A = this chain, B = another copy of it.
Protein backbone atom coordinates (compact mmCIF):
# COMPACT_ATOMS: atom_id res chain seq x y z
CA UNK A 1 0.00 0.00 0.00
CA UNK A 2 1.08 3.55 -0.62
CA UNK A 3 1.85 5.92 2.16
CA UNK A 4 -1.20 7.97 1.33
CA UNK A 5 -3.35 4.91 1.38
CA UNK A 6 -6.48 5.04 3.44
CA UNK A 7 -7.85 2.89 6.22
CA UNK A 8 -4.71 0.78 6.46
CA UNK A 9 -5.97 -0.91 9.60
CA UNK A 10 -9.03 -2.20 7.83
CA UNK A 11 -7.08 -3.23 4.74
CA UNK A 12 -4.56 -5.12 6.80
CA UNK A 13 -7.33 -7.11 8.39
CA UNK A 14 -8.53 -8.39 5.05
CA UNK A 15 -7.32 -11.70 3.66
CA UNK A 16 -4.20 -11.06 1.65
CA UNK A 17 -4.58 -13.26 -1.33
CA UNK A 18 -7.51 -11.65 -3.07
CA UNK A 19 -7.60 -8.44 -1.07
CA UNK A 20 -10.74 -6.73 -2.32
CA UNK A 21 -10.10 -3.03 -2.52
CA UNK A 22 -12.04 -1.16 0.09
CA UNK A 23 -14.16 1.32 -1.75
CA UNK A 24 -14.56 4.05 0.78
CA UNK A 25 -12.61 7.22 0.98
CA UNK A 26 -13.77 8.10 4.44
CA UNK A 27 -10.63 10.01 5.23
CA UNK A 28 -10.90 12.03 2.09
CA UNK A 29 -11.20 15.74 2.60
CA UNK A 30 -14.66 16.29 1.26
CA UNK A 31 -15.88 19.18 3.36
CA UNK A 32 -19.23 18.28 4.79
CA UNK A 33 -20.94 21.48 3.78
CA UNK A 34 -20.35 20.77 0.10
CA UNK A 35 -22.75 17.85 0.04
CA UNK A 36 -26.37 17.33 0.88
CA UNK A 37 -28.16 14.12 1.74
CA UNK A 38 -30.78 12.75 -0.61
CA UNK A 39 -33.13 9.92 0.31
CA UNK A 40 -33.88 7.40 -2.42
CA UNK A 41 -36.66 4.83 -2.58
CA UNK A 42 -35.95 1.27 -3.68
CA UNK A 43 -35.32 1.04 -7.45
CA UNK A 44 -35.16 4.81 -7.78
CA UNK A 45 -32.51 6.03 -10.19
CA UNK A 46 -29.66 8.08 -8.76
CA UNK A 47 -28.45 9.02 -12.25
CA UNK A 48 -28.86 7.71 -15.78
CA UNK A 49 -26.20 6.74 -18.26
CA UNK A 50 -25.92 9.57 -20.75
CA UNK A 51 -27.15 12.31 -18.38
CA UNK A 52 -24.85 15.28 -17.80
CA UNK A 53 -22.58 14.37 -14.89
CA UNK A 54 -23.58 17.28 -12.66
CA UNK A 55 -23.07 15.54 -9.34
CA UNK A 56 -20.98 12.95 -7.61
CA UNK A 57 -22.32 10.69 -4.89
CA UNK A 58 -21.29 8.80 -1.82
CA UNK A 59 -23.54 6.16 -0.32
CA UNK A 60 -24.55 7.07 3.23
CA UNK A 61 -26.82 4.11 3.96
CA UNK A 62 -28.40 1.29 2.01
CA UNK A 63 -27.05 -0.06 -1.25
CA UNK A 64 -26.71 1.23 -4.81
CA UNK A 65 -26.15 -0.78 -7.96
CA UNK A 66 -24.28 0.37 -11.05
CA UNK A 67 -25.53 -0.99 -14.34
CA UNK A 68 -25.51 -0.74 -18.08
CA UNK A 69 -28.42 -1.55 -20.37
CA UNK A 70 -28.72 -2.77 -23.93
CA UNK A 71 -31.51 -1.52 -26.23
CA UNK A 72 -33.36 -4.83 -25.93
CA UNK A 73 -33.34 -4.67 -22.14
CA UNK A 74 -30.43 -6.93 -21.32
CA UNK A 75 -28.76 -5.59 -18.20
CA UNK A 76 -25.30 -5.91 -16.72
CA UNK A 77 -24.80 -4.88 -13.12
CA UNK A 78 -21.17 -3.85 -12.87
CA UNK A 79 -20.93 -3.12 -9.16
CA UNK A 80 -22.71 -2.72 -5.84
CA UNK A 81 -21.91 0.14 -3.49
CA UNK A 82 -22.78 0.29 0.20
CA UNK A 83 -22.37 2.75 3.09
CA UNK A 84 -19.28 4.86 2.85
CA UNK A 85 -18.52 4.00 -0.75
CA UNK A 86 -17.83 6.89 -3.06
CA UNK A 87 -19.21 6.41 -6.54
CA UNK A 88 -16.06 7.34 -8.40
CA UNK A 89 -16.43 6.06 -11.87
CA UNK A 90 -16.05 8.79 -14.33
CA UNK A 91 -14.97 12.35 -14.82
CA UNK A 92 -16.40 12.71 -18.25
CA UNK A 93 -19.19 15.19 -19.03
CA UNK A 94 -21.79 12.47 -19.05
CA UNK A 95 -22.38 9.49 -16.80
CA UNK A 96 -21.18 6.33 -18.51
CA UNK A 97 -23.37 4.09 -16.38
CA UNK A 98 -26.68 4.15 -14.52
CA UNK A 99 -26.92 4.10 -10.71
CA UNK A 100 -30.03 2.81 -8.94
CA UNK A 101 -31.08 2.27 -5.35
CA UNK A 102 -31.09 -1.43 -4.48
CA UNK A 103 -32.86 -0.66 -1.20
CA UNK A 104 -34.29 2.49 0.27
CA UNK A 105 -31.15 4.45 0.90
CA UNK A 106 -29.51 7.79 1.49
CA UNK A 107 -26.82 9.19 -0.75
CA UNK A 108 -24.77 12.32 -0.23
CA UNK A 109 -24.68 14.46 -3.32
CA UNK A 110 -21.75 16.71 -4.20
CA UNK A 111 -21.96 19.23 -7.05
CA UNK A 112 -19.56 18.44 -9.86
CA UNK A 113 -18.18 21.96 -9.82
CA UNK A 114 -17.33 21.69 -6.13
CA UNK A 115 -15.51 18.39 -6.63
CA UNK A 116 -13.62 19.70 -9.64
CA UNK A 117 -12.65 22.81 -7.72
CA UNK A 118 -11.43 20.69 -4.88
CA UNK A 119 -9.42 18.51 -7.26
CA UNK A 120 -7.66 21.61 -8.56
CA UNK A 121 -7.05 23.20 -5.18
CA UNK A 122 -6.03 20.10 -3.24
CA UNK A 123 -3.43 17.88 -4.93
CA UNK A 124 -3.92 15.20 -2.28
CA UNK A 125 -7.49 14.65 -3.38
CA UNK A 126 -6.50 13.75 -6.95
CA UNK A 127 -3.88 11.43 -5.59
CA UNK A 128 -6.31 9.67 -3.29
CA UNK A 129 -8.99 9.39 -5.90
CA UNK A 130 -6.40 7.98 -8.30
CA UNK A 131 -5.58 5.28 -5.78
CA UNK A 132 -9.27 4.60 -5.39
CA UNK A 133 -9.88 4.45 -9.14
CA UNK A 134 -6.97 2.06 -9.57
CA UNK A 135 -8.40 -0.25 -6.93
CA UNK A 136 -11.67 -0.26 -8.77
CA UNK A 137 -9.81 -1.13 -11.94
CA UNK A 138 -8.24 -4.14 -10.28
CA UNK A 139 -11.59 -5.24 -8.95
CA UNK A 140 -13.02 -4.78 -12.46
CA UNK A 141 -10.37 -7.18 -13.79
CA UNK A 142 -11.46 -9.72 -11.19
CA UNK A 143 -15.03 -9.37 -12.33
CA UNK A 144 -14.00 -9.80 -15.98
CA UNK A 145 -12.35 -13.08 -15.05
CA UNK A 146 -15.52 -14.14 -13.28
CA UNK A 147 -17.75 -13.20 -16.21
CA UNK A 148 -15.50 -14.51 -18.95
CA UNK A 149 -14.10 -17.73 -17.56
CA UNK A 150 -15.91 -19.04 -14.50
CA UNK A 151 -18.78 -21.50 -14.43
CA UNK A 152 -22.06 -20.68 -12.73
CA UNK A 153 -21.18 -22.44 -9.48
CA UNK A 154 -17.79 -20.68 -9.37
CA UNK A 155 -19.37 -17.30 -10.01
CA UNK A 156 -21.71 -17.74 -7.05
CA UNK A 157 -18.83 -18.85 -4.82
CA UNK A 158 -16.79 -15.80 -5.85
CA UNK A 159 -19.75 -13.52 -5.27
CA UNK A 160 -20.47 -14.86 -1.80
CA UNK A 161 -16.81 -14.66 -0.79
CA UNK A 162 -16.70 -11.08 -2.01
CA UNK A 163 -19.63 -10.21 0.20
CA UNK A 164 -18.13 -12.08 3.13
CA UNK A 165 -14.91 -10.11 2.88
CA UNK A 166 -16.80 -6.88 3.36
CA UNK A 167 -18.47 -8.25 6.47
CA UNK A 168 -17.07 -7.36 9.88
CA UNK A 169 -16.66 -10.95 11.11
CA UNK A 170 -16.13 -14.34 9.51
CA UNK A 171 -18.94 -16.80 9.89
CA UNK A 172 -21.48 -14.08 10.38
CA UNK A 173 -24.72 -14.04 8.51
CA UNK A 174 -24.35 -12.22 5.22
CA UNK A 175 -27.21 -9.96 4.26
CA UNK A 176 -28.09 -9.81 0.58
CA UNK A 177 -29.79 -6.46 0.04
CA UNK A 178 -30.19 -7.20 -3.68
CA UNK A 179 -32.67 -9.46 -5.46
CA UNK A 180 -31.84 -12.67 -7.30
CA UNK A 181 -32.30 -10.71 -10.51
CA UNK A 182 -29.62 -8.23 -9.40
CA UNK A 183 -27.26 -11.07 -8.56
CA UNK A 184 -27.99 -12.73 -11.89
CA UNK A 185 -27.30 -9.53 -13.82
CA UNK A 186 -24.11 -9.01 -11.82
CA UNK A 187 -22.84 -12.52 -12.55
CA UNK A 188 -23.99 -12.81 -16.15
CA UNK A 189 -26.52 -15.55 -15.34
CA UNK A 190 -30.30 -15.92 -15.10
CA UNK A 191 -32.34 -15.82 -11.89
CA UNK A 192 -33.14 -19.50 -12.33
CA UNK A 193 -29.48 -20.46 -12.47
CA UNK A 194 -28.64 -18.30 -9.44
CA UNK A 195 -31.44 -19.95 -7.51
CA UNK A 196 -30.43 -23.45 -8.56
CA UNK A 197 -26.77 -22.94 -7.72
CA UNK A 198 -27.59 -21.50 -4.30
CA UNK A 199 -29.77 -24.53 -3.64
CA UNK A 200 -26.95 -26.81 -4.75
CA UNK A 201 -24.47 -25.11 -2.41
CA UNK A 202 -26.97 -25.46 0.41
CA UNK A 203 -27.50 -29.15 -0.34
CA UNK A 204 -23.72 -29.63 -0.29
CA UNK A 205 -23.65 -28.04 3.18
CA UNK A 206 -21.38 -25.25 1.99
CA UNK A 207 -23.87 -22.54 2.98
CA UNK A 208 -27.20 -22.18 4.69
CA UNK A 209 -30.02 -19.92 3.55
CA UNK A 210 -31.81 -18.76 6.72
CA UNK A 211 -34.09 -16.70 4.49
CA UNK A 212 -34.09 -15.37 0.96
CA UNK A 213 -31.94 -12.39 1.80
CA UNK A 214 -29.43 -13.99 4.13
CA UNK A 215 -26.62 -16.48 3.66
CA UNK A 216 -24.25 -18.03 6.16
CA UNK A 217 -21.06 -19.63 4.98
CA UNK A 218 -20.42 -23.01 6.61
CA UNK A 219 -17.46 -24.23 4.59
CA UNK A 220 -15.26 -21.30 3.60
CA UNK A 221 -12.56 -23.58 2.18
CA UNK A 222 -14.99 -25.31 -0.14
CA UNK A 223 -16.23 -21.94 -1.34
CA UNK A 224 -12.70 -20.68 -1.89
CA UNK A 225 -11.74 -23.75 -3.86
CA UNK A 226 -14.78 -23.30 -6.03
CA UNK A 227 -14.16 -19.60 -6.49
CA UNK A 228 -10.53 -20.06 -7.45
CA UNK A 229 -11.29 -22.92 -9.77
CA UNK A 230 -9.28 -25.47 -7.82
CA UNK A 231 -11.43 -28.32 -8.98
A-side interface residues toward B, CB under 8 Å?
1-2, 66, 68, 70-72, 74-76, 78, 88-93, 96-97, 116, 119-120, 123, 126-127, 129-131, 133-138, 140-145, 147-150, 185, 187-188, 228-231
Q: Are B138 and A140 in contact (CB under 8 A)?
A: no
Provide the residues of chain B in CB contact with A93, threshold 8 Å. Answer: 1-2
26 cross-chain CB contacts under 8 A: A1-B92, A1-B93, A2-B116, A68-B144, A70-B145, A70-B149, A70-B229, A71-B228, A75-B149, A76-B148, A76-B149, A78-B141, A78-B145, A88-B134, A89-B137, A90-B134, A96-B141, A97-B138, A97-B141, A129-B130, A133-B137, A137-B137, A140-B141, A144-B144, A147-B147, A147-B148
> Which of B97, B119, B145, B231 lies in contact with A68, CB distance below 8 A?
B145
Provide the residues of chain B in CB contact with A123, threshold 8 Å. Answer: 123, 126
Provide the residues of chain B in CB contact with A1, threshold 8 Å. Answer: 92-93
Cα A229 to Cα B68 with chains together (Å):
13
Q: Are B148 and A188 in contact (CB under 8 A)?
A: yes
Cα A1 to Cα B71 with chains together (Å):
25
Q: Are A149 and B229 in contact (CB under 8 A)?
A: no
Which partner residue on chain B sits nearest A74 by CB separation? B149
Q: Are A144 and B142 in contact (CB under 8 A)?
A: no
> Which of B70, B92, B131 lies in contact with A134, CB distance below 8 A?
B92
Cα A135 to Cα B89 with chains together (Å):
8
Q: Which of A88, A89, A127 has the most CB of B within 10 A?
A: A127
Given known A126-B126, A144-B147, contact A230–B116 (CB-CB < 8 A): no
Provide the residues of chain B in CB contact with A120, threshold 8 Å. Answer: 127
Cα A187 to Cα B229 with chains together (Å):
19
Within the complex, the shortest CB–CB distance from A81 to chain B, in Å, comes to 13
Given known A2-B116, A127-B126, A147-B148, contact A229–B71 (CB-CB < 8 A): yes
Which partner residue on chain B sits nearest A140 by CB separation? B140
Q: Are A68 and B142 in contact (CB under 8 A)?
A: yes
Which partner residue on chain B sits nearest A227 by CB separation? B70
Q: Are B229 and A130 in contact (CB under 8 A)?
A: no
Which partner residue on chain B sits nearest A228 by CB separation? B71
